[in-house]
Structure 1
């Protein structure tokens, strides 16, 4: 099963490790450190501020789609 995460990009659901909402990502020092450490793997799909962070095995996506919407799409 594939999930549309924004900007005409679909990824396999089984490749997703975690989906974080914007507040969790902005308030956590660990998530900020993780994003800084993996900044060469971060792909920003959002032209505006991102709404969710999607972590996969090989990349980290900043998505314009809310985490709740992504959860609904995965069911």
Structure 2
């Protein structure tokens, strides 16, 4: 399945390593160092404010969507897949 993370970007849910709240960036020097090292594979999707950071195996995305919104979307897709699996039995 795919997760819409902002603008017109979809990522495979299997590729998502972490969805982080932007506040973590301000409070964690380790996270800041990690993101600095990943600057060459970073995409800024937020035109105004960044609300979350989506880390995949190949890319880091600064998303305009809240981490809670992205979590809900991924859970909804998981439930949908479970429902389809049950119906196919």
Fold similarity call, TM over 0.5: yes
1:25 deviation in Å?
1.8
1:1-75 map, 5 Å: 1-75=1-75
Unpaired stretches in structure 2, ≥5 consecutive residues: 76-89
Point out where structure 1 has 5 or more consecutive residues left out of the alignment: none
* Superposed displacement of residue 17, structure 1: 0.3
- State the TM-score, normalizing by the size of structure 2: 0.82
Q: CA deviation at 1:49?
A: 2.0
Query: Higher strand share goes to which structure?
Result: 1
**C-alpha RMSD over aligned residues:** 0.7
- Tell me the TM-score normalised to structure 1 length: 0.96
Which structure carries more helix by proportion?
2
In the aligned structure 2, how far is the partner of 1:60 from the partner of 1:16? 10
Ranges of 4+ aligned residues in structure 1 off by more than 3 Å: none
The number of residues matched between the two structures is 75
Larger Rg: 2
